[in-house]
Amino acid sequence: MQNLAYTAQQIRAAEQPLLDAQEHPDELMQSAAHAVAQVAESMGLPGRVLVLAGKGGNGGDALYAAAELAMSGREVDAWPVFGTAHERALTAFRNAGGTVVEAPEGEYALVIDGVLGLGGAGDLPARILRATEDATVLSVDVPSGIDADTGQRGGNHVTADVTVTFGGWRLAHALAPECGIQLLADIGTASTCLHDQLRLFDGTPIYRASGTDRAWPEGISALGPAAVPNPEPGFNDDKYTGGVVGIRAGSGSYPGAAVLCTAGAVTATPGMVRYAGPQALEVVRAHPEVVAAETLDQAGRVQAWVFGPGAGADDAASRELEWVLGQDLPVLIDADGLTLLEQHTHLRDLVQRRETPTIITPHDGEFARLREALELGESNRLAEARELASALQCTVVRKGRATIVAHGSGSAEIIDAGNSWAATPGSGDVLAGIIGARMAHDGAQDPQRATDGLAASICIHGMAARLAAETPWGEAQTSASVIAGHVRAATARLIG
């Protein structure tokens, strides 16, 4: 199945023909419940199971799954958290030997969250959250309290260890880390399946850069990374044919930004990396393979530019960014370059008028300042990213645990890093270098293709952060330079 995510409205529309074609009541619900039960068993948690059952179909999925678990010999309690639950599923659960309780009693190894699901968001009663404490949580469809379309969370919401969904992904599965490990199972009736119905709709590609390596039951797949091409040069390639990236980063105040950005590029490509800026000597000391110059016009020919990490935001830096934007080449703008865009209308106008791709890479704080500079409204992270991309007619890479790639055309991709170890100073500089190298490679023959490899580059960065955090005793804190040092290993891991 493809890595496409759909809105709640699309999911409901795709489900309706299956509901109409059911040969017996709850056929589709029981198909979903079987997948939930399979996942619950595969998690291998001995001990009691508690089902949190809401009033609707999500609670019915959980209760039918609980009935299957009870029939297999598991000790299962079900708590109708709002006092009532799906009647046929509740009867099936009782008939299977399950116990309906008025409140949780004792300790549970596994809690199955079937409170709200696809249509539910907002705050949950605190008593429901208390039931999930000190237990592993398996959510059905979407963790309760998480909006399926935006990933926004209520003040009280479930944080799952694993979430299993059906037919196609929901946007929240990439936008909300509260989903934990994201799993997908197809469901259907005797005549058709939900995945086939969803083919009729346009989805949004979503990915997870890093995750667990465990096996899941047949027919159940985990959200995985974007396709990463093999970077090995061809028989007739040389240091130029793979694309040359130029980097303008660093200053006397931030010399490390130049070193980290070029490190990201050097480790992401076998092609040439050029550096232009005041830290030329420091860059060459750290990376002798880089061809360095002190000014932009001395840098030599490149196929893409990266501008901004640590470059400063004074008048001289503004003139440099104006020069870069005047080149008929793909350009990535990060960090101080984003501050310049925020402060100077004429630079934003240049971005809007460019015919070759421009990529901006703000974190949420930088994004908010740009949004305010353009007088755009507040909404959710995905909608805001799309609006900014449209306003600037560029590609926005809104960085975070969930990174959103939004294009001026309105299309988008979402990448869950699968870990949060990249939340460390300088990590964004490394990412800018990785993306810049890929831009130069993909745009070497056709500059309009320079954005093709964005999801792959972001996945490499996310996997590198996870590998950088690994120690013989488990995962621990890491740093940007260590992340850069694991880009090659991450690339190999993702193409393997």
Enter the tokens of residue 93: 């659960």
Q: Does 401 carry a binding-site annotation?
A: yes
Residue 277 confidence (pLDDT) = 97
Q: What distance in Å separates the CA atoms of residue 194 and residue 184, rounded to the nearest whole number?
A: 12
Q: Does 308 carry a binding-site annotation?
A: no
Q: What distance in Å separates the CA atoms of residue 276 and residue 279, rounded to the nearest whole number?
A: 8
Q: Where are the domains of the chain?
A: 4-222, 244-495
The string of pLDDT tens digits covering residues 80-106 is: 999 999 999 999 999 999 999 999 989
Residue 1 confidence (pLDDT) = 53
Residue given tokens 């696809």 in the structure block: 118
pLDDT along the chain (496 residues), means of 10: 90 93 92 97 94 95 98 96 95 97 94 89 86 94 96 92 97 97 91 90 97 89 95 89 95 96 97 97 97 96 97 97 98 98 98 98 98 96 98 98 97 98 98 98 94 98 98 97 98 91
Judge: domain 4-222, CATH 3.40.30.10. Answer: no
Query: Could you tell me if 165 and 187 are in contact, meaning their C-beta atoms sit under 8 angstroms apart?
Result: no
Residue 121 confidence (pLDDT) = 72
CATH code of 244-495, in short, is 3.40.1190.20
- In 3-state terms, what secondary structure has residue 53? strand
Q: Does 386 carry a binding-site annotation?
A: no
DSSP single-letter state for residue 103: S
Q: Does 403 carry a binding-site annotation?
A: yes
Rounded to two decimals, the pTM is 0.96
Q: List, in sequence order, every beta strand (DSSP E) within 347-473.
A: 358-360, 395-398, 402-406, 412-416, 470-471
Q: List, in sequence order, every beta strand (DSSP E) within 132-252.
A: 136-140, 162-166, 169-170, 181-185, 204-208, 220-222, 245-248
The string of pLDDT tens digits covering residues 441-456 is: 999 989 999 999 999 9
Q: Does 402 carry a binding-site annotation?
A: yes
Q: What distance in Å separates the CA atoms of residue 444 and residue 302, rounded to the nearest whole number?
A: 9
Q: Does 363 carry a binding-site annotation?
A: yes
Q: Does 310 carry a binding-site annotation?
A: yes
Residue 2 confidence (pLDDT) = 77
Residue 366 confidence (pLDDT) = 98
Enter the tokens of residue 453: 């490899």
Residue 496 confidence (pLDDT) = 65
Q: What distance in Å separates the CA atoms of residue 231 and residue 104, rounded to the nearest whole number?
A: 54
Q: Does 486 carry a binding-site annotation?
A: no
φ, ψ at 277 (rounded to 5°) = 160, 180
Residue 493 burial (10 A CB sphere; 0-12, 13-18, 19+)? middle
Residue 189 confidence (pLDDT) = 82
Q: What distance in Å separates the CA atoms of residue 249 and residue 432, rounded to the nearest whole number?
A: 10
